[in-house]
Amino acid sequence: MTTLSVIIITKNEALHIGDCIDSVAFADEIIVVDSGSTDATREIAAAKGAKVTLTEDWPGFGQQKNRALGLATQEWVLSIDADERVTPELAQEIQRMVAQPSAEAYKIARLSNFGGRWIRHSGWWPDYVLRLFKRGKARFKDVAVHESLQTTSTVLALRGHFLHYPYADLESFIAKINHYSSEAAAIMHAKGKQTSVLGATGHAFWTFVRIYLIRRGFLDGKEGFILAVMASAGSFFRYNKLLFLNKRQVKAPSDSLSA
């Protein structure tokens, strides 16, 4: 009999984790790897029957998800984020594919909600992500942010989709942009990338045009406009943070000599 593990990484996801676990209750095991939640995330997950592991450090999204993957014991693995839900239709499809697979890896679309609106443009839909795979046939890329599964197997698409609730409110959206832009700037800095104020402005402008016009964000109403502006701001922050990191590195040698 083919079996399924679900893996989830968390930190302070008390708002989401219960509904997330409920949506994958059909799985044979649910593994939650938590990186030091200060809310009731771990207690809720344990009460829902998940196997909860606490890690003392935060190595980045890629490594943390690989830690969770290393704890999976079943033949198939479904990776899901705490702010995602498996619909009943997708649950049935996953069970069929696991029982009678036609591939070793599957990608699944995500339908995301922002400000109470389901976003079907702006580059947010269908937003396919590789998430269901035979254990041993895929592994997460070892990166701090924007992690993704890598596989040499043929990847097919499922018809069903996740429901995705990425931001509880605008404040959490802003906080995530700030965090992700810092991580991305650090990665670019480590690779020796350069930028300027003009370059940062250009990237921000192009991001708005790409999302609002090319990807038809205007069809998502006022929420589409907000998303385009926020993405543009995130790009602006990312490249300006890189600019300051590079500037600090250039100044460091003279600073150390004068000290």
Identity (one letter) of the amino acid at 31? I
Within 13 Å, how many C-alpha atoms sit on residue 209's CB side?
6
At 111-144, the pLDDT tens digits run 999 999 999 999 999 999 999 999 999 999 987 6
Residue in 94, 81, 100, 99 with CA at minimum distance from that of residue 157 = 94
Q: Is the pLDDT of residue 253 over 70?
A: no
CA distances from 172 to 79, 102, 169 (A): 23, 39, 6
pLDDT band at 250 (very low <50, low <70, confident <90, very high): low
List, for residues 72-123, the tens digit of each pLDDT value: 999 999 999 999 999 999 999 999 999 999 999 999 999 999 999 999 999 9
Burial of 207 (0-12, 13-18, 19+ CB in 10 A): buried
SS3 31: strand
Average pLDDT, stretch 28-34?
98
pLDDT exceeds 80 at position 170: yes
CA–chain centroid gap for 3, Å, is 25
220-240 pLDDT, tens digit per residue, is 999 999 999 999 999 999 999
